[in-house]
Amino acid sequence: MTFTDAERRAMARALELAATPGVPLGPNPRVGCVLLADDGSTVAEGHHRGAGTPHAEADALAEAGAAARGTTAVVTLEPCNHTGRTGPCAQALVAAGVRRVVFAQSDANPVAAGGRATLRSAGIDVEHGLLEDDARALNRSWTFAVEHGRPFVTWKLATTLDGRSAAADGTSRWISGRASRLDVHRLRAGADVVLVGTGTVLADDPALTVRDADDVPLARQPLRAVMGLRELDAGRRVLDGQAETLLLRTRDPHEALATLRAHDRQHVFLEGGPTLAASFLRAGLVDEVVAYVAPVLLGAGASAVGDLGITTIASAFRPTVTDVTVLEPVAAGDQPDVRLTMAPHHASEER
């Protein structure tokens, strides 16, 4: 594979365009496109702005007009080859007279794949793999969901130094400090599902919305999903209409994720209690762990995770730590919490 310096710069710019703030989460990946002239100068740029809007290639072609003929299209994802709410990008590039296409990441979605073959059959020079790791990282959850047929699962927990998620009397507010809670809202905003069990709803009555520093719900909210067989009364906050709520009448993590995937969800933020967390861990369905550890000792109370069936230290669950961050206090009286981000070994081995 041979790429010019101009193409490398253009791909870096296309990735910036794809990551443009304000693009809503949804079933579509984030994609950017840059059209280059023969001398390496930029003819046009484009990016996808969410489901139902023009794809990045179409956006760039519309800006370029007739000047698109003879250009090189540098795209973060293989141009699609299907007709959905918009037409196939591969055909649009052919019709525009593009000479060469360079893309970063192949499209594993069987519905949209095949753009490379369509372009080559039309006589267009095609290369791929430029900054592929960066493109995959940008669309981590979408890529995982397409390749594995289920949403990516991030398990969030808040725990004391001795691994407790609640005191002996059941109280759990607040183990972590305000800085940790604000950080949780940031991570919630990056997912498209917040999932808990009926036990958490009955015990804590959480709202499960994404809120700002003033505790005001944001305009865009992830789906709230509640998993379990117990009935919930209509007065629970998770049913208050501030965000869409889906009741998953199952205790099977595989079934729950299949239902969420059928609803075009890519990233589950698992915030349930120890029983629900243990069920996902036992099923091998946790792909990332985010733990907020507070400088607190309780000595008794609920554990942060339920029984995993582990009877010996040799069988312990040992995720790989990928980040350690000290969250400095933002409220009077708080002490720093530590956020640990970890990857279970199975998640990296599935690639």
- Side-chain-facing half-sphere of 147: CA atoms under 13 Å: 14
What per-residue confidence (pLDDT) applies to 347?
42
Active site residues: 57
Tokens 């795209």 -> residue: 75
Domains of the chain in start order, with CATH, are: 5-138 (3.40.140.10), 150-349 (3.40.430.10)
What per-residue confidence (pLDDT) applies to 26?
74
Residues of the chain with pLDDT under 50: 347-351
Q: What is the pLDDT of residues 156-175, one digit of tens each?
A: 999 999 999 988 988 888 88
What per-residue confidence (pLDDT) applies to 191?
95
What per-residue confidence (pLDDT) applies to 292?
97
What per-residue confidence (pLDDT) applies to 351?
38
State the burial class of residue 227 (Cβ atoms within 10 Å of its Cβ: 0-12, 13-18, 19+): buried
Question: Which H or E run includes 347?
Answer: helix 345-349
Count CB neighbours of 198 within 10 A: 22
What per-residue confidence (pLDDT) applies to 349?
44
| Of residues 205, 207, 203, the one with CA closest to residue 167 | 203
What per-residue confidence (pLDDT) applies to 228?
96
DSSP-derived 3-state class of residue 62: helix
CA–CA separation, 124 and 45 (whole Å): 20
Count CB neighbours of 97 within 10 A: 12
What per-residue confidence (pLDDT) applies to 346?
52
Q: What is the pLDDT of residues 259-309, one digit of tens each?
A: 999 999 999 999 989 999 999 999 999 999 999 999 999 999 989 999 999
What per-residue confidence (pLDDT) applies to 21?
87
Count CB neighbours of 192 within 10 A: 25
